[in-house]
Structure 1
Amino acid sequence: MATPQFPSRPFTGLGRASTVGQQQQQQQAPPHANTYQPPSYGGPSNTYGAGAGAGAGQRDAMARQERERIDRERREAEERAGALDALSEEQREEINEAVNNHIDYHELKVALKALGFDLPKSDILSLLQTHGIPASATSSTHPPASATAKPTFSGPSRLVLPHASFVSIAASRILARDPRDEILRAFELFDAEGKGNINLQDLRRVARELGEGLQEEELVAMIEEFDLDGDGAISRDEFV
């Protein structure tokens, strides 16, 4: 018995085409990109680094200020020693009589004026700012003034000038003064009325104020010694 022959199935290529298409789609399809971006946080190391840098800068500034303070105090001590050596004994006594302790703004102004230096307010404040210390630093509960950093100026009532600093300031100004000005200042002490000459009455008054027991003949002799024009008084030019 013969086996029946079935007609062969025509080739459509669908299966292969489907497979090939799927492969092509897989090849052409771009891979899914990972679009997630982790949030960016400021790293703690940056913050700490900035803080450490600022702290180091402050420490450097404080150290620099301390070095400047030490250098300034050393220079002041050297200048004070040199100035005191150049002063006469009378000038030293005059300075020491003006002040004997820490002085504030008003006392500094009066003391300098007594020495012949009538400074304006701005100059007095500048001296306190440069050489002064806080008034609170003079109490026994605070460290010595030399160990205290120079303050930031906040008003004349908050700063005082140590005696040593005043001596240095006064000595330098006295040495820088013209000797003629020093003589004229002495003349004005005798000529209190500003009349332009020194007469016998002026000498009597000054001798009495100083407690000098000078005789009348001695006072007359002083006038006659310097009275070049014979008018019975010592003029400014004759005194100089």
Structure 2
Amino acid sequence: MTTASLFDINQGRRDLAALPADWQNNIREAWEVVDQQGLGSLNAREWPFALRAIGFDLARTETYALLLAHGIPPHDHDPARGPCSPSRLRMPQEHFSAIAAWLLMRRDPQEEAEDAWKMFDPRGTGRITLDSLRAVCSEVNSTLSEADMRRMIDMADISGKGWVSKEEFIEVAKGGFSRA
């Protein structure tokens, strides 16, 4: 079954209310990054970017189906002239927030950690070294210092071998190894 066919707007609203304040804030910030004009709704091309900003890259067919089900006509649409074209529908912030909360509550931390691992170990070496972390930081234009990157490796490397294994990475990504 698809995300669009499983999604229930009322459950999404309940999920949003149940989310911790920092997660609700992340949803709001993702929205604001894309809705820079403050319109309160995003068009068919914009709203998937807001989902991506919180870590969800749904297939185009999924975002389209959700837009058809939960989008609203723009303010300038005249219903007397017929139904609104799907390409003109807009996703209101309230519906986006409910969808985002619903997705967040159903995410699989193991799967997300596995996906993140692939970014840090694109060659499949089974380890994250300082060099591979440096390459990822460069790719995303991060300004982490060499010392910060070393601390990140040291924090996750529980055995002291100088690199991070997939198991160590996934444990940290899922919230384990809370070492100072």
Q: How far apart in 1 are the matches of 2:43 and 2:92?
A: 9
Calculate the TM-score normalised by the size of structure 2. 0.62
5+ residue gaps, structure 1: 1-74, 143-147
Letter of the aligned partner of 2:69 in structure 1?
T
Task: Confirm or deny that 1:154 pairs with 2:80.
Answer: no
1:94 corresponds to: 26
Say whether residues 1:85 and 2:13 are aligned partners: no
Deviations 1:121-140 (A, max 9, x none): 322221111111112x2x6x
Distance in 1 between the 2:21 and 2:166 partners?
26
Q: Does 1:125 align with 2:53?
A: no
Runs of 4+ with >4 A deviation: 185-189, 201-212, 228-231
| Distance change in 2, residues 1:85/1:233 (3 Å) | farther
Specify whether residues 206 and 169 from structure 1 end up closer, same or farther in structure 2 by C-alpha distance, changes over 3 A only: same
Greater RCO structure (CA 8 Å; 6+ sep):
2
2 CA distance for matches of 1:181 and 1:158?
Answer: 34
1:158 deviates by 1.1
Once the two structures are TM-superposed, the CA of residue 203 in structure 1 deviates from its matched residue by 5.2
For residue 130 of structure 2, the aligned residue among 194, 197, 200 is: 200
Contact conserved, 1:103 with 1:160, CA < 8 A, in 2?
yes
Normalised by the length of structure 1, the TM-score is 0.49
> Does the 8 Å CA contact 1:129/1:153 hold for their aligned counterparts?
no
CA 1:221–1:227 in structure 2 vs 1: closer, same or farther (change >3 Å)?
A: same
- SS where residue 161 of structure 1 aligns? strand
Kindly provide the amino acid, as one letter, of the partner of residue 86 in structure 1: A
User: Does the aligned pair in 2 maintain the 1:104–1:161 contact within 8 Å?
Assistant: yes
Unaligned runs of 5+ in 2: 1-7, 33-39, 171-180
More helix by share: 1
Q: Distance in 1 between matches of 2:105 and 2:18?
A: 8
Matched residue pairs, number?
150
User: CA RMSD, aligned part only?
Assistant: 3.6
Q: How does 1:1-240 map to 2 (within 5 A)?
A: 76=9, 79-80=12-13, 82-100=14-32, 101-135=40-74, 137=75, 152=83, 154-155=85-86, 157-187=87-117, 191=120, 194-196=122-124, 197-201=127-131, 206=137, 216=147, 219-228=149-158, 230-240=160-170
Question: 1:221 and 1:211, CA in 2 relative to 1: closer, same or farther beyond 3 A?
Answer: closer
Instruction: Give the secondary structure class of the aligned counterpart of 2:41.
Output: coil
* Counterparts in 2 of 1:233 and 1:85: CA distance versus 1, 3 Å: farther
- On the 8 A contact 2:11/2:102 being kept in 1, the answer is no
Measured in 1, the distance between the counterparts of 2:12 and 2:49 equals 23
Kept in 2: contact 1:128–1:160 (CA 8 A): yes
User: Per-residue displacement from partner, 1:106-153 (whole Å, max 9, x unpaired)?
Assistant: 112222234333322322221111111112x2x6x99xxxxx9xx956
Q: Give 1:163's aligned amino acid.
A: Q
C-alpha change, 1:115 and 1:161, in structure 2 (3 Å) is: same
